[in-house]
Chains A and B, each alone.
Chain A
Amino acid sequence: MNIDLSRRSFLRLAGAGVAATSLGALGFGEAEAAELAHVRDFKLTATTETRNTCPYCSVACGIIIYARPDDTGKRRVVHIEGDADHPTNRGTLCPKGAALKDFVNAPTRLTQPMIRKPGAAAFEPIAWDDALDRIARAIKDDRDANFLATNEAGVPVNRWTTMGFLAASATTNETAWATYKVVRSMGVVGFDNQARV
């Protein structure tokens, strides 16, 4: 808003000297005021766009997840699309990846550990601690029963072939490395870091 003193004569001739918007300075203030009055009653709505990795397979396509608050104020995923900046997929997605929004918002989506007890017809919820305790017990029992330290010829093999382990494809390299070390060190040979499609 500092008027340049050396420009005083020019600015006076140009009708300048007062801070104004482009529309105000050019004489379109009436149109501007009408537009401002019109938008006054509108509100802004915030959408977030978040980068992530498609969880389906080891191609690990980049995706952008759009989320917006619903009527209750809880943020909901409203759209998922391929990330055009991702070097792997450049914005493209396979049919499974393109349907990710329904996967996220599915009413049947697993949101807590569930157990189907022997003989039961349906799954029921179980606390995380109880679930992990049961899994650990089952793994330990199975390994104790089936771990092979040597083969028939007496050669050390240290393998455990009766359990398989499936980890996620959307993990980081570091997570995949740690998972590999933990699982392989127990002798598990049936191990993968993704669901093959």
Chain B
Amino acid sequence: MTQDIPARPDMIGGVSTPPLAILPRPARLFAARADRFAHLAEGSRLAPYLRFMADLTRAQADLAGSLPPVAPLSPDRVALARASRMPPIDRHAVLDDPGLAATLDALIAAARAIAMPAPARLALDALADAAPEDRRWLVANVLDDAIPADSVAPHLFVAAAVQLHLARLAATLDSGDLVAIRTGVCPACGGKPAASVVTGVMGAEGARYAACAGCQTLWNEVRVKCLSCGSTKGIAFQSVDDGTEGAQIKAETCDACDTWVKQMDQHKNPSLDPIADDVASLGLDALMRGGRWRRGGFDPFLTGY
């Protein structure tokens, strides 16, 4: 009995403070997401797309385990970011990171083995042959969380590579080094959330985590608060009325800035994945298009909603 167990008075009575951020474990995360996409595809009207996404996510998972390790950020950079309340991952620096270029090459190569319709294949081939400045343009758009409406297909493949690279970079961080920046801003990479999840994990039951669309970090956000503008007034939740009381995916709407972001009840269904289930719940997006709010969550796999 010589092991030194630190005192955790906050665990007494089970009332603990939820951690600010949960950093991704890329290989595990993407593998679980690929399984989720495959599961969601069963019996779904969106099955062809969900199966394609399952394959693409599986490629992300495989590469997460096989690519050479990414260089961790310098401790100085992390300390500076912490002192100035900025995200440690600098997306401008990532834009010209050779590691990201290599990841994109590897992802394009892996994606070629996936079955996909002709338009997707055309975009992938064009991406494979694209000039460096065209690729840089695509990567910059994805890193800006802004996909041009007229060229969604090539950006989707690039987004898969950017997700993989940012997630691997985020995995090298220590979550204790991160600081909350602002509502709706990822503390690891400064990205936008794709959706948010109400978690059921021990020590954080019922707490809400926003899921970064880029680096896949989950970060704690106060519930019933707009992830786009931070308002706590005029928040409501819209869900598809299927006659039951148990909607697990709801649209959190904000009347202050007229946006909405999906919130998923992971504490009721731990299988919910903020990206896979975001795509699979496209029906909610379709119904929300008829309302006054516009989508605030960023998901490169669900552009146009």
Contact = CB atoms under 8 A, between A and B. Distances in A.
Interface of A: 1-4, 7, 10-11, 13-28, 30-32, 34-36, 38-39, 42-51, 64, 78, 81-85, 89-92
B292 to A, nearest CB: 12
A188 to B, nearest CB: 35
A34 B14 CA distance: 47
Given A10-B126, A85-B222, A91-B206, 13 more contacts: A15-B153, A16-B151, A16-B154, A20-B150, A22-B301, A26-B116, A27-B116, A35-B45, A38-B283, A42-B283, A46-B238, A47-B250, A92-B14
A84 B122 contact: no
A30 B17 CA distance: 47
A16 B150 contact: yes
A51 B224 contact: yes
A15 B131 contact: no
Contact of B47 (A2, A18, A31, A39): A31
Contacts of B239: 44-45, 47
B118 interface: yes
B161 interface: no
A44 B153 contact: no
Contact of B237 (A27, A47, A83): A47
A3 B152 CA distance: 12
Given A26-B117, A46-B238, A32 B137 contact: no
A31 B40 CA distance: 14
B117 A44 contact: no
Contacts of B204: 84
A45 B291 CA distance: 12
Contacts of A2: 148, 150
B304 interface: yes
Given A22-B302, A31-B48, A84-B208, A17 B117 contact: no
Contacts of A11: 150-151
12 contacts: A14-B153, A16-B151, A17-B150, A18-B150, A19-B304, A22-B302, A22-B303, A27-B118, A49-B237, A64-B223, A84-B223, A90-B17
Nearest to B245: A78
A189 B283 CA distance: 62
Contacts of B15: 89-90, 92
Contact of A20 (B242, B288, B304): B304
Contacts of A38: 45, 283
A22 B303 CA distance: 5
Most chain B CB within a 10 A radius of its CB, from A18, A19, A81, A84: A84
A35 B300 CA distance: 19
A20 B152 contact: yes
A14 B119 CA distance: 8
Contacts of B205: 84, 91
Contacts of B125: 13
A62 B138 CA distance: 46
B221 to A, nearest CB: 9
Given A1-B150, A14-B126, A27-B119, A42 B48 contact: no
B224 A64 contact: yes
Contacts of A28: 46, 48-49, 52, 117
A35 B46 contact: yes
B49 A21 contact: no
Contacts of A31: 45-49
A76 B304 CA distance: 35
